[in-house]
Amino acid sequence: MRISDRRFAVFLMAPAALFLAIFVAYPLFRLVADSFFKISPIAGGPRDFVGLDNYFRAFASEAFMGAGWRTLAYTLVVVTLEFALGLGMALLFTMLGRNSQIWRTVFLYPLMIAPIVAGLLWKFLMIDNFGLIGTLMHQAGLLANPNQIGWLSDPNIVLFSVAIPDIWLTTSFMCLVLFAGLQNIPGDLIEAARLDGARAPAMLFRIVLPLLRPVIAVALVVRGIDAARAFDTILIQTNGGPQSASETMSLLIYRTMIRFGDPGLASAMGTIYLLAMLAVAFFAVSTIWRPGKDN
Amino acid sequence: MSSRTTISRITAIGGLSTAVLLAATACGAGGPAVTSGSAASTVNVLVEAGGHAELTGVAEQCKKDTGVSANFVELPYDGMFNRLSSEFSSGNVSFDVAALDSVWLPSFKDAVQPIDELFTDEAKKDIFPALVKEANVDGHFIGMPAWTNAEIILYRKDLFDDAKNKADFKAKYGYDLAAPTTWKQYQDISEFFTKDGMYGTDVKGGVETEWLAHVLQAGSPMVLDANNNVVIDNAAHKEALDFYVSMTKSAPPGAAQVDWAAAQNLFNQGKTAMTRFWAHAYRQIPKDAPVAGKVGAAPMIGGSAGVAGVPGPWYLSVPKATKNSDAAKKFIKCAYDHNDLGIESSLGLASRISAFEKYQDKAGYESFGPLIKTLNGAATATRPATEKWQQIVDTVLVPLLQKAVAGGNSTALLADAKKQIQDLLK
C-alpha cells in the first residue's frame, strides 16, 4: 500500500506529539488555568475564579520579586563561572589531544554525583562550627578563626556559597559540550591563522569563539535554564535561608504550593517564571546563535 | 531568505522552545498516590522516622488484642508534611492512619475525620490539658496524642560538678554553680563556660519554638491572642526576643542557621555546656559521644508568668479518604491503651500522664520529671490554631529571628513582623 509523504510524516510524528500533548501541553494548560483560581489545598475544597488576582499578588509579593532577582543573580554567577572554567578546561584538553583522555574522564566525575549528595557534601564542608573549609583556611593562615566566614549563615554571601556545589557538579558538562564543539573546528583554519601570524588571543576571540557560537548558545541556554531551576542543592544546604537569602524561584514556588497550600498563587508564579524563561531562551537564540543569519 | 533557511530556523527555535518547556515543567513531585486497597485488618500508618520506633510495640500489641496489623510507611520529618499535603490535595490517600505534628493539625483539619468517641472523660483526664485543647479543632477531636515532648534544660553534669569550676564560678558570680533555675543564672553560667573553644549555650536562629517559649514565660500568648489579633509587637515578645538575642555572645557563631539538628550536634560533641532542648534528646545521646553519661536534666526555667514550654505532641489521625476507618480507629485506640510501650523505644516518649509517671523514677529516665513539670507549667500553651501557622513561621518568624541574631533592631523587626502576619491572615 502506498501512503503519501505527508501521511508518512504524520505517522512518524504522532508518538512524539501524543507524548508531548499528555506530558507537556496538558500540564501546561492546567498550570495556566489554575493560576486564575483560588484553590483549596484539600481535595474537594472550594475552587473560586479570581481572574488575575494571583498575578497581582505575585507581583506585589516581596518574596516573589526577591526570589526573581536572586534566581537571576544565581544563574548569572553559576553559568558565567561554569562557562569560563569549562571553556578553559576544554581548550586545555584540546591542546593535550590524546593525552587528555584520562583527565577528561576524571574531570567528568562530579557530573555523575546526585545533586542531593553533592549538596550534603558541601554543606558539611561549609557548615559553621564543624566545616572543613573554615578549619583548613584557618590552618593555612588565611582566616583568624575557622568561623570567620559564615558560608551558609551570612545572608550576604550565602547565595554564592550555595552556588559552589552547582558549579562543581556541572562545569564538566559545559566542558564536555565545548570540547565536542572544538573538535569540529577545521584544523586547517587554525593552521592558516597560525601561518598568518595570529597569536593565541586573536585565534581564540576571532576564530575559535565565533565558530563555537551555536555550541555556546546551546550550552548556555541548557545550563541557564537548568541553573535557574536550582532546587535540590539549595534545599539540602540552607532550605532557602537565612532570611530567605538563598530562596530561588523554584524553592519559592514549591513552598507556596506544598508548604503554604496555595496552588493558585504557585501556578501564577510558575506561569510568570515559564514566560520569563521562554523570553530569555528566545533572546539567547536570536543574539548568540542567530540560526540562519550567518548564511 | 530561502524556504530551507526559514524551515531550519523555525525548527531550531521550535526545538529549543520544546526543550525549555520540557525542562521547565519537569519539576513535578513523586508519582500518584496508591489507593488504600489493603485488607480491612491491616492499616497503613504514615509516620516520621522516630514515630515508627515509638509505635512498633503498640502495633505488635494491637495485633494480639484486635487482629489489626500495621504496615508502617516511614518518612523523614521534612518529607512528611509535603507527602501529606500532596495526598490530601489529590483526595487519594495511601495511608489509613497518619501521625501528624501538632503544627499541622489546623492545616489538615478538613482532611481528617473526627474521633470524638475515643476522647472519653477518663482519657481526657490522663492527657496533658494543653494537648486536649489542641486536639479539638472546630469542636471536634481530630487527633489522639501519641507522644509529646517539651523543651527542658540539658547541662553538662561533669563540668558543673568540677571543683575548680565550682570555685571559680562562686568567686566570679557570688553563688554556687548548679543547674539554673532563673534566666539570670542561665546567662551567668553560659557566660562562664564560654572559653577555650567552648560555649555556654546555643542560640537557634533557624527555629522559632524556643523564642516562643520565652514569650509564654513573659506572660503573653504566642503571636496571636485568643481572638486572632496579632500581638507580636507587645512588650513580652520584645523582652523575650531581647533576652534570646543576648545569649548569642555565649553561643557558637552562625546562630542564624542553627536549628534543632545543629544544636543537638553541638551539645553532643561537647561544644556547648547547656542547651534548651526537647526532652527526648536526653536518652538519644550516642554512647560514643564525648558527653555520654555526663549530662543532667532540669525543668525549663520560668519567667514572670511561671514555667512554660511549647509542647511538641504528635497526633494520630484518620484521613477522611480512607476506606479503612474502623480498623484505623481500632489502631488509635490501641495506641492510647498501650501508650507506655513507646517509652522503651529509641524516641522514648508517651502522651499519657500516667505513662510518664510510671517511668519517671527509673534510672535512665531522669528527663521525665522535668518534662512533666514543664508540660504541666501554668503558662505552657500550644501554638496558635491557624492554618497559616506554617507560613507565618517560615516567612515571618524564622527570618525575624535570623535578622535579630544578626543585630537587627528588635522593636522595628517586631513591628514589621506584625504587619506581615496581618497581611498573611487577611
Averaged over B110-133, what is the pLDDT?
91
My answer on whether B277 and B338 are in the same domain is: no
Span A85-142, pLDDT tens digits: 999 999 999 888 888 888 888 888 888 899 999 999 999 999 888 889 989 999 999 9
Of A74, A95, A92, the closest CA to residue A84 belongs to: A92
Span A55-96, pLDDT tens digits: 999 999 889 999 999 999 999 999 999 999 999 999 999 888
Q: How distant is the Cα of B20 from the closest Cα of chain A, in angstroms? A: 7
Domain extents for chain A? 64-115+158-289
Burial tier of A224 (Cβ tally within 10 Å: 0-12, 13-18, 19+): buried
- Domain A64-115+158-289 sits in CATH at 1.10.3720.10
Q: How distant is the Cα of A43 from the closest Cα of chain B, in angstroms? A: 4
pLDDT of residue A118: 92
Residue B8 lies in a domain: no
What three-state secondary structure class fits A3? coil
**Of the partner residues A24, A255, A292, the one whose CB lies closest to the CB of residue B25:** A24
**Of the partner residues A24, A261, A263, the one whose CB lies closest to the CB of residue B107:** A261
Better pLDDT: B1 or A90:
A90
Q: Which domain holds residue B62?
A: 42-149+313-351
My answer on whether B306 and B195 are in the same domain is: yes
Asked if the model's pLDDT at residue B38 lies above 50, the reply is: no
Averaged over B39-53, what is the pLDDT?
83
Q: How does B186-205 read in b/e, with b if 16+ C-beta sit within 10 Å?
A: bbbbbbbbbeeeebbbbbbb
My answer on whether B249 and B332 are in the same domain is: no
What is the rounded distance in angstroms from the CA atom of residue B13 to the CA atom of residue A286?
Answer: 9
* C-alpha distances in Å from residue B12, one per residue of A23, A221, B6, B23, B386: 21, 13, 10, 16, 51
Asked if the model's pLDDT at residue B161 lies above 80, the reply is: yes
Which residues of chain B have a CB within 8 Å of the CB of A289? 12
pLDDT of residue B1: 42
Share of chain A above pLDDT 70, in %: 97
My answer on whether B51 and B155 are in the same domain is: no
Contact A241 B8 (CB under 8 A): no
Confidence of residue A292 (pLDDT cuts 50, 70, 90): low
Confidence of residue B9 (pLDDT cuts 50, 70, 90): low
Q: How does A255-283 read in b/e, with b if 16+ C-beta sit within 10 Å?
A: bbbbbbbbbbbbbbbbbbbbebbbebbee
Averaged over A179-183, what is the pLDDT?
92
Q: Whole-number mean pLDDT of chain A?
A: 89
Number of domains observed in the structure of chain B = 2
Q: Does A20 touch chain B (CB under 8 A)?
A: yes
Asked if the model's pLDDT at residue B98 lies above 70, the reply is: yes
| Portion 206-245 of A in contact with B at CB < 8 A | 221-222, 225-226, 229, 231, 238, 241-244
Share of chain A above pLDDT 90, in %: 52
Residue B342 lies in a domain: yes
The x, y and z cell numbers of residue B289, run together, are 559521644
Residue B124 lies in a domain: yes
My answer on whether B256 and B277 are in the same domain is: yes
**Domain containing residue B63: CATH number:** 3.40.190.10
Q: How distant is the Cα of A188 from the closest Cα of chain B, in angstroms? A: 27
pLDDT of residue A169: 92
Asked if the model's pLDDT at residue B177 lies above 80, the reply is: yes
Residue B171 lies in a domain: yes
Confidence of residue A293 (pLDDT cuts 50, 70, 90): low
Q: How distant is the Cα of B258 from the closest Cα of chain A, in angstroms? A: 9
pLDDT of residue B31: 34
Confidence of residue A270 (pLDDT cuts 50, 70, 90): very high
pLDDT of residue B166: 95
Confidence of residue B23 (pLDDT cuts 50, 70, 90): very low
Residue B18 lies in a domain: no
Share of chain B above pLDDT 70, in %: 91
pLDDT of residue A73: 95
My answer on whether B283 and B257 are in the same domain is: yes
My answer on whether B324 and B302 are in the same domain is: no
My answer on whether B172 and B270 are in the same domain is: yes
pLDDT of residue A1: 67
Asked if the model's pLDDT at residue B11 lies above 60, the reply is: no
Reported ipTM? 0.72
**What pTM does this model have?**
0.79
My answer on whether B336 and B269 are in the same domain is: no
Averaged over B169-195, what is the pLDDT?
95
Averaged over A231-257, what is the pLDDT?
91
Burial tier of A246 (Cβ tally within 10 Å: 0-12, 13-18, 19+): buried
Averaged over B308-333, what is the pLDDT?
92
My answer on whether B195 and B335 are in the same domain is: no
Which residues of chain B have a CB within 8 Å of the CB of A241? 206, 256-257, 398-399, 402
Boundary-marking domain end, from B302, B329, B351: B351
What is the rounded distance in angstroms from the CA atom of residue B36 to the CA atom of residue B150?
Answer: 34
Asked if the model's pLDDT at residue B215 lies above 90, the reply is: yes
My answer on whether B300 and B319 are in the same domain is: no
**Of the partner residues B5, B23, B402, the one whose CB lies closest to the CB of residue A242:** B402
Averaged over A35-50, what is the pLDDT?
86
The x, y and z cell numbers of residue A68, run together, are 526573581
Averaged over B34-47, what is the pLDDT?
68
My answer on whether B302 and B346 are in the same domain is: no
